[in-house]
Amino acid sequence: MNSGKCVGCLLCQLSCSLQTANEFSAGLSLIRIYRNPVGEQFNISFAENCDNCFVCVTHCTYGALELD
Amino acid sequence: MAKGYANFILHIDLTTGEAKREPLAEELCRDFLGGFGVNNRLAYDLIPPGIDPLSPDNPVILGAGMLNGTQAPASSRFFATTKYPTTQAIGSASGGGFGFMLKAAGFDHVIIRGQASRPVVIKIIDNQLELENADDLWGKDIFETTDELWKRYGDESQVIALGPAGERLVKSSFCLVNKISTLGRGGLGAVLASKRVKAIVARGEKSISVQAPIAFAKKADALLQGLAGLPYRDSWLKYGPAVARFLAGRKGFLVKGFRELDLDEGLERTYGPEVYEALWQVARACPSCPVACKAIVKLADRALPFSAALAAAEIWGARFNMTSLEEAMACRDLCNRNGLDDRMASGLIEFAVDLYEASIIKQSDTDGMRLKRDPETVSCLLKMILNREGIGDMLAEGFGAVIARFGPQAKKYAVEIKGLDPYRDPRELFDGMAISQAVNPRGSYGVPGNSPAYLPGRKPDQFKRYLARLGVEENTRERICPEDGVNIARLTRYAEDWYSLCSCLGICVRQPVTQVYSLDDLAELYAAASGWNKTGQELMRAGERAWTVLKAANIREGFGRQDDRFPDVFFEPLIAGKKRVALRDYTNRVLGRTEVERLFTDYYQERGWHPDTGLPTCAGLTDLGLGHMAEDLRRRGLI
């Protein structure tokens, strides 16, 4: 996870909520993107019940989420 | 309840403080899809013809694109429709973000009318409207306001804010969404400020459900792969729309004030990509976008958000002989913070300098200041516009006010279309944007005419393939793109219909997106989201309908063919060293006024509009299901 590369596209949240809840909703997503006002950056966090399906990783095209 | 929508319109009366939730009519969704289309349709009924844009009775209509809030790539455009003070035209301006959160808050559209007694923040959170006192925010710039609202309402909130330029009713004021996406060229800042609205905040947890999630995700994923795999994507992420110049190998891309074309590459050394790379930090995207066009840029040790940051080079740098890109970007930053449309401000300042050089504006008009094409003049006049001081007060009113003050002799120096600084110098590149900026009912905005012509040197076959992706029939493609070239004016009609359709759905129309999405893709996404099957042709027809409604609304405002025009200076050659660059069409034929008028006629004919008046016909409007508008316009003696 490299939050410095996050551009705020939220495709991780959108794909996660569709995968987990069959709907588009930030509230139902197990990954959340928060704005860090310092330096205009974003923070990334995962819910405890995230089951590591990696759908968020496959939808991140900016290199903020990558598998080793 | 229609799938893909939040299914409600929020009505806000600022005068009474009352709000009403109205179910979004299914017929409106089916005919106008959403966003741009539904906004335009609502505007036709809600904006009283001839209204003063700064009157409480001029509504502001916000509208989310139908696919906002979904995983469809680059599906974040939403619209602000009102009568704009700079143009006196009804326009639908687009911004990125906000729409998805408006839907999550429970609404597809918001209609704001009236005038609050004190400054307010319109807060739409989880289906509830609150008008919060904004006395403490009035006077703050857009960045300060947005940061404060994120602190109060959470950083996932989407914020539309206006700055001091809007508060002082500067006609060319705009808003920013989340400090980065411009919204409302033509004066949205002033319109909202006249209602005493400082900002609009949306946040919510409502889900957007689609009819066929698996099919939707499959199509969205394929489009994501296409966009992420574009060969020039890395360059695009860094340079944004300016990358087209570098891709096309166009040296000497900068036009200095609609007068001079830089050929010695000196300006590229000052403002070019290598210089910019040292400032660029990271891309910034609208929600769902894999081809970000915005960026965080380091300027004087501060990280600053910009949309299409390199545009500063042509807007300020080349126009006013600035010695560095940083100096040009600092002008953009000042405009952004204050909510002033920098393109328009630079045009007005140059207009003032031109009039000063022609001795039409004299030192007695400028409190003794000498107006020059230099950074010092820019700095002084920007402050005077923002504070409405001296000559700045007149410039804050726009081109028309300057012409009214200095008379017809000033008019020939005004480089404007429907009151707005032009988007494109067609002598540099005669593409669809050059045509669209003249015929757009909203005023000088060229993006709807975006097509492969944006990259010079494209061959007729490439245009045919582009039109095929838009679902244009073969005989039409052959007619528009014969062996010896392409009729950009006729092609622009289809580019605009595509723009309109994408705008109803909320899909972006930046070059990479238009290059990857096809009409079939939109039809598949629309069907999977809504459950309503429409053919591609039916969707393009909806796009045409939405565009035509905007045209009809502006016919009622008194606009006609005489307003679709190029400024006089476009018919004079650009100076390019020892060379002179005349106005030429895409196939390099020299154009005079007669030929340009013929091209406009071609455009109207391709639309099925009357070739002499440039207006839709009663039969054409009726065919589009707009019979009641035909009757309204006929009754008023306008068509």
Question: Given this model, what pLDDT does residue B345 score?
Answer: 97
Residues of chain B above pLDDT 90, percent? 87
Q: Which strand (E) or helix (H) includes residue B524?
A: helix B519-530
Whether B567 has a pLDDT exceeding 90, the answer reads yes
Categorize the per-residue pLDDT at B588 as very low, low, confident or very high, splitting at 50, 70 and 90: confident
SS (H, E, C) chain A: CCHHHCCCCCHHHHHHHHHHHCCECCCCCCEEEEEECHHHEEEEEECCCCCCCCHHHHHCCCCCCCCC
A56 touches chain B (CB under 8 A): no
pLDDT over threshold 60, residue B467: yes
The answer to whether the Cβ–Cβ distance between A61 and B282 falls below 8 Å is no
The CA-based diameter of chain B, rounded to the nearest angstrom, is: 70
Q: Which residues of B touch A18 (CB under 8 A)?
A: 71, 213, 216-217
Question: What's the one-letter identity of residue B464?
Answer: K
How many pairs of residues across A and B have Cβ atoms under 8 Å apart? 90
Tens digit of pLDDT for each residue in B244-288? 777 666 555 577 778 888 766 677 788 888 889 999 999 999 999
Q: Do B150 and A4 touch (CB under 8 A)?
A: no
| Complex ipTM tops 0.95 | yes
Q: What is the pLDDT of residues B40-85, one digit of tens each?
A: 999 999 999 999 999 999 999 999 999 999 999 999 999 999 999 9
Residue type, B389: E
Closest among B90, B67, B93, B70 to B80, alpha carbons compared:
B93
Q: Please judge whether A35 and B156 are an interchain contact, meaning their C-beta atoms are less than 8 angstroms apart.
A: yes
Higher pLDDT, B576 or B595: B595
Burial class (CB in 10 A: 0-12, 13-18, 19+), B40: buried
| Mean pLDDT calculated for residue range B304-310 | 91
The full 3-state SS of B219-233, as one line of letters, equals HHHHHHHHHHCCCCH
Residue A32's pLDDT is 95
Q: Which of A17, A34, A59 lies at the smallest CB-CB distance from B155?
A: A34
Chain B residues whose C-beta sits inside 8 Å of any chain A C-beta: 69-71, 73, 104, 147, 150, 155-156, 205-210, 213, 216-217, 221, 224, 227-228, 282-290, 292, 296, 303-305
Residue A37 has pLDDT above 80, yes or no: no
Give the pLDDT confidence of B385-426 residue by residue, as tens digits.
999 999 999 999 999 999 999 999 999 999 999 999 998 899
pLDDT score recorded for residue B303: 92
pLDDT above 60: residue B34? yes
pLDDT at B550: 98
For the stretch B147-195, pLDDT in tens is 999 999 999 999 999 999 999 999 999 999 999 999 999 999 999 999 9
Contact B282 A23 (CB under 8 A): no
Contact A57/B at CB under 8 A: no
- Give the residue-averaged pLDDT of B530-546: 97
Verify whether the Cβ–Cβ distance A22 to B73 is below 8 Å.
Answer: no
- Tell me how close the Cα of A60 comes to any Cα of chain B, in angstroms: 8
Per DSSP, the residues of B121-151 read EEEEETTEEEEEE-TTTTT--HHHHHHHHHH
Nearest CB to A18; choose among B213, B283, B289: B213
Nearest CA in chain B to A40: B303
Q: Please name the member of B207, B210, B305 whose beta carbon is closest to the beta carbon of A28.
A: B207
In this predicted structure, what is the pLDDT of residue B265? Answer: 65
Average pLDDT, chain B: 95
| Mean pLDDT value across residues A30-56 | 91
The single-letter code of the amino acid at B152 is R
The residue in chain A having the minimum alpha-carbon distance to the alpha carbon of residue B303 is A39
Please check the confidence at residue B326 and state whether its pLDDT lies above 70: yes
Q: What mean pLDDT do residues B447-459 have?
A: 86
CB B39 within 8 A of CB B92: yes
Do residue B305 and residue A40 have CB atoms under 8 angstroms apart? yes
Region B552-565: what's the mean pLDDT? 97
Helix (H, G, I), strand (E, B) or coil at B189: helix
CB contact under 8 A, B287 and A61: no
- Report the predicted TM-score, pTM, of the whole model to 2 decimal places: 0.97
Say how far apart CA B523 and CA B534 lie, in whole Å: 7
For residues B357 and B373, give the distance between their C-alpha atoms in angstroms, rounded to a whole number: 10
**Mean pLDDT in residue range B437-443:** 96
Query: Which residue from B minimizes the CA distance to A25?
Result: B207
**Interchain contact, B217 vs A23, CB within 8 Å:** no
Rounded to an integer, the average pLDDT of B24-45 is 98
Residue in A7, A14, A15 closest to B292 by CB: A7
